[in-house]
Amino acid sequence: MKPQRKVLGSILSAAVMLTLLAGCGGQTPAPAAAPAAPATTKEAPAPTDNKKLVVGFSQIGAESGWRGAETASIQETAKNDPTIELKFSDAQQKQENQIKAIRTFIAQKVDVIAMAPVVETGWEAVLTEAKNAKIPVILVDRNIDKKNEDLYTTFIGSDFVLEGQNAAKAMVEHLGGKGNIVELEGTVGASAAVDRKKGFDDEIKKHPDIKIVKSQSGDFNRATGKQVMEAILKSPEGKNIQGVYAHNDDMALGAIQAIEEAGKKPGSDIKIVSIDGIKEAFEAIKAGKLNTVVECNPLLGPQLFQAAKDLKAGKQLDKWIKSNEEVFSGQKAIDALPNRKY
Ligand code: AHR
């Protein structure tokens, strides 16, 4: 026998012996190629250590371009983070749907509940249930009434009062301190509408020659903003208007259509100021139809999940994680347009 064959023969005989021995113990031998089970299997981290952080998010709906950008930011951030599981629920503008979603998240024992509350009031009962279930709640973008501050851990979002003030300052400048204004308000009872109105109206009061002659809700959406503006333009007050302040860009874009259809020039006959900063608003500034946009950041996904992780790690969070925002008019807006992310 050649030496190579001799070696092969010994390996085969050893294999046969091993197979027989294993057979005696009644166990099926592991295939030769299978790696041996690591000796540390028992000490490997318990499944709970590897468990994803489950976050239930109750979104208001899809009423505006801004809202779409916020939803995308939250969904994409979760998708790109293997440690996160997102349970997403769209309430279609109804508070009762948000309450149902939160109850479902509680029943599912999620780690963290996040929500953008459609209105400020009416959360006490359901958020108390979350508190009793020891599930922390993070408010995203909109706030709830002050008396229920102990029912959430942190609020991640903008200073809506400041946005209103900044919008008013821009309007005063565009009007040269004199004129009649229409205010298109957001959803009735929403913190974004309540605070943007407060900030704007208080600032405008400092200018006695500027009057808010009509103030009406356009529900933060374009179609309603347009309808409301059409009706106002047909009313007696509508005949003498120099400015429109819209609580969001979508309503401003609807108002622009209504003004054009009424044969007037938005941006010059009637100055327009709005809040959000979606790309379409920047394009309207470039086209000379909108005068100023006050930015409101919807890209809150990264901050939300960081806050959820910090909470689970036992860290103390600030009660308000505030967004930093800018005001855009004229050339500044045109220059910023190519880099807008939403
Ligand atoms: O709460 C933020 C507001 O809600 C945004 O300004 C608006 O576009 C949205 O629908």
Let me know: does 269 contact 109? Beta carbons within 8 Å.
Answer: no
Q: Are residues 165 and 286 in the same domain?
A: yes
Residues 186 and 77 placed together within one structural domain of the fold: no
Residue 178 lies in a domain: yes
Residue 333 has pLDDT above 60, yes or no: yes
Q: What is the pLDDT of residue 139?
A: 98
Is 11 inside a domain boundary?
no
Q: Is pLDDT above 80 for 36?
A: no
Please tell me the distance from the alpha carbon of residue 144 to that of residue 189, in angstroms, as a whole number.
10
Average pLDDT over residues 199-205: 98
Q: Are residues 132 and 176 in the same domain?
A: no
Q: Are residues 123 and 169 in the same domain?
A: no
Please give the distance, rounded to the nearest whole angstrom, from the Cα atom of residue 26 to the centre of ligand 1. Answer: 68
- Is 179 a residue whose pLDDT tops 70? yes
When pLDDT is averaged across residues 301-305 and rounded to a whole number, the result is: 98
64 CA from centroid of ligand 1 (Å): 7
Alpha-carbon gap, residue 227 to 234, rounded angstroms: 11
Q: How many residues does the chain have?
A: 342
Asked if 188 and 62 sit in the same domain, the reply is no
Does residue 285 belong to any structural domain of this protein? yes
Query: pLDDT at position 224, please?
Result: 98
Residue 134 Rama label (left phi>0; alpha psi -120 to 50; beta): left
Q: Give the pLDDT mean for 187-212.
A: 98
| CATH number for the domain that contains residue 182 | 3.40.50.2300
| pLDDT at position 44 | 38
The answer to the question of residue 5 being in a domain is: no
Q: What is the pLDDT of residue 49?
A: 55
Give residue-wise pLDDT tens across range 43-99. 333 345 569 999 999 999 999 999 999 999 999 999 999 999 999 999 999 999 999
Rounded CA gap, 160 and 111, in Å? 29
Residue 134 domain boundaries: 53-157+298-323
CA angle centred on 163, ends 158 and 168, rounded to 5°: 175
Task: Mark whether 139 and 174 lie in a shared domain.
Answer: no
> For residues 216 and 186, is the Cβ–Cβ distance under 8 A?
no
Question: What local confidence, expressed as pLDDT, does residue 47 receive?
Answer: 41
223-235: per-residue pLDDT in tens? 999 999 999 999 9
Candidates 60, 66, 159, 279: which one to mutate for ligand 1, based on the most atoms within 8 Å of Cβ?
Answer: 66
Rounded to an integer, the average pLDDT of 193-222 is 98
182 and 290, same structural domain? Answer: yes
Instruction: For residue 9, give Cα distances in angstroms to 1, 5, 12, 203.
Output: 10, 6, 5, 96
Together in a domain, 83 and 208: no
Mean pLDDT over the full length of the chain: 89
pLDDT in tens, 123-153: 999 999 999 999 999 999 999 999 999 999 9
Say what the pLDDT of residue 31 is.
33
Position 212 pLDDT exceeds 60: yes
Residue 221 has pLDDT above 60, yes or no: yes
pLDDT tens-place string over residues 90-123 = 999 999 999 999 999 999 999 999 999 999 999 9
For a pocket test of ligand 1, which of 58, 141, 188 has the largest count of ligand atoms closer than 8 A to its C-beta?
141
Mean pLDDT of 288-308: 98
Number of other residues whose CB lies within 10 A of the CB of residue 83: 11
pLDDT at 34 > cutoff 80 = no
Q: Given this model, what pLDDT does residue 310 score?
A: 98
* Tokens found for residue 26: 């009644």
Task: Output the CA 5–ligand 1 centroid distance in Å.
Answer: 80
Q: What distance lies between CA 102 and its chain's CA centroid?
A: 17
| Measured distance CA(278)–CA(121) in Å, rounded | 28
Residue 7 belongs to a domain: no
Q: Are residues 116 and 185 in the same domain?
A: no
Q: By alpha-carbon position, which residue is closest to atom 2 of ligand 1?
A: 192
Domain presence at residue 45: no
CA atoms within 13 A on the CB side of 46: 2
Contact 148, 164 (CB under 8 A): no
Q: Which of 276, 293, 299 to mutate to test ligand 1, by most ligand atoms within 8 A of the CB atom?
A: 276
Looking at the fold, whether 61 and 137 belong to one and the same domain comes out as yes
> Does residue 27 lie in a domain region?
no
Amino acid at 76: E
- Is residue 340 pLDDT above 50, yes or no? yes
State whether 149 and 95 are in the same domain. yes
249 and 66 in contact (C-beta within 8 Å)? yes
- How many structural domains comprise the chain? 2
List the alpha helices (DSSP H) in the chain. Answer: 3-24, 47-50, 65-79, 95-107, 124-132, 160-175, 191-204, 222-234, 249-261, 279-286, 301-312, 330-336
pLDDT above 60 (res 181) = yes
With 0-12 / 13-18 / 19 or more C-beta atoms within 10 angstroms meaning exposed / middle / buried, residue 55 is buried
Out of 5-19, 111-125, 191-205, least confident range: 5-19
Angle formed by the axes of helices 95-107 and 124-132, nearest 10° = 10
What is the pLDDT, as a whole number, of residue 27?
33
- Give 14's pLDDT tier (boundaries 50, 70, 90): very low
pLDDT at 11: 44
**pLDDT above 70: residue 12:** no
Residues with CB under 6 A from ligand 1: 63-64, 66-67, 141-142, 192, 220, 248, 250, 275-276, 296
- The answer to whether residue 32 scores a pLDDT higher than 50 is no
Residues 89 and 116 in one domain: yes
